Amino acid sequence: MGMPPGDASVRQLAFDFAANITDGVSLWREQRQEALRRLGIELGFPVGAHCEIELKSGLVLRGRLFLREDDFFSVARRDSAMLRIENVDFSIAEIASCIRID
């Protein structure tokens, strides 16, 4: 009933994923960074820039400001977004001041 294993009419499709994986991953990273930057602009903070952030608690942080990536799709309200400088995460609601220093 089946075709013999060497039959030329039976072909298995082969995809060459390795050939374009770096381009695809690079493009995805660029698009994600651009989307994060745009979201930062919408939130009113210079995401990706060097900043000095003073939190309402008095803690002062200096470094490159990032939107915490695991919150990228879950940001429902401006005050619930989470940001990060170095290893310190904080919400927008915790910020007393933000100065861009670069």
What digits encode the pLDDT tens for the residues 44-78?
Answer: 888 889 999 999 999 999 999 988 765 555 444 56
Q: How many domains does the chain have?
A: 1
CA dihedral 86→68→24→14, nearest 10 degrees, is 110
Residue whose pair of structure tokens reads 């903070």 in the numeric block:
45
- Under DSSP, the state recorded for 48 is T
Does 13 map to a domain? Answer: no
* pLDDT tens-place string over residues 12-48: 666 555 555 567 888 887 887 787 777 778 888 888 8
Give the per-residue pLDDT at 26: 84
If one compares 29 and 101, the residue with the highest pLDDT of the two is: 101
Does 4 map to a domain? Answer: no
Residue type, 19: A
Residue type, 81: A
Measured from the Cβ of residue 8, the count of other Cβ atoms closer than 10 Å reads 6
Does 2 map to a domain? Answer: no
Domain range enclosing 72: 18-100
Q: Strand pairing partners for 45?
A: none
80: CATH: 2.30.30.100
